[in-house]
Amino acid sequence: MEYIDIPGLRLPVSRLIKGTDYFYHHSYELAAANMDAFLALGGNAVDSAHIYCGGQSEEVLGRYMEERGNRDRIVILTKGAHHDQNGPRVNKQAIADDLKVSLERLRTDHIELYALHRDDPDVPVGVIVEALNAHIESGAIGAIGGSNWTWQRLQEANEYAAAHGLVGFTFSSPNLSLAKAKEPYWKDAVSADQATIDWHEKHQLPLLSWSSQARGFFTGRFSPDDRSDADLVRVFYSDDNWERLARAERLAADKGVTAIQIALAYVLNQPFPRMRAHRRPQRGGAPLVRRSDASRADEGGDGLAGFEAGDGLTVWGIAH
> In percent, how much of the chain has pLDDT > 70?
85
What gap in Å lies between CA 237 and CA 214, rounded to an integer? 11
pLDDT at 166: 99
Distance of CA 116 to the CA centre of its chain: 12
CATH number of 145's domain: 3.20.20.100
DSSP lists the bridge partners of residue 46 as 18, 76
This prediction's pTM: 0.87
CB 148 within 8 A of CB 120: no
Q: Is residue 177 included in any domain, yes or no?
A: yes
CB 81 within 8 A of CB 145: no
Stronger pLDDT, 283 or 221, i.e. the higher one: 221
Q: Is residue 316 included in any domain, yes or no?
A: no
- Tens-digit pLDDT profile for residues 181-211: 999 988 899 999 999 999 999 998 999 999 8
Q: What is the DSSP pairing of strand 13-14 with strand 3-4? A: antiparallel
Domain count, the chain: 1
- Tens-digit pLDDT profile for residues 88-145: 999 999 999 999 999 999 999 999 999 999 999 999 999 999 999 999 999 999 999 9
Stronger pLDDT, 53 or 298, i.e. the higher one: 53
Q: Is residue 111 included in any domain, yes or no?
A: yes
Q: What does the mean pLDDT of the chain come to?
A: 88
Q: Is residue 318 included in any domain, yes or no?
A: no
pLDDT at 315 over 90: no
pLDDT at 271: 78
Query: What domain range is 86 assigned to?
Result: 3-311
What gap in Å lies between CA 158 and CA 164, rounded to an integer? 10
What gap in Å lies between CA 50 and CA 90, rounded to an integer? 13
Q: Is residue 317 included in any domain, yes or no?
A: no
> In percent, how much of the chain has pLDDT > 90?
79
pLDDT at 72 over 90: yes
Q: How confident is the model at residue 293 (pLDDT cuts 50, 70, 90)?
A: low
Q: What is the CA radius of gyration of the chain?
A: 19
pLDDT at 287 over 70: no
Q: Is residue 76 included in any domain, yes or no?
A: yes
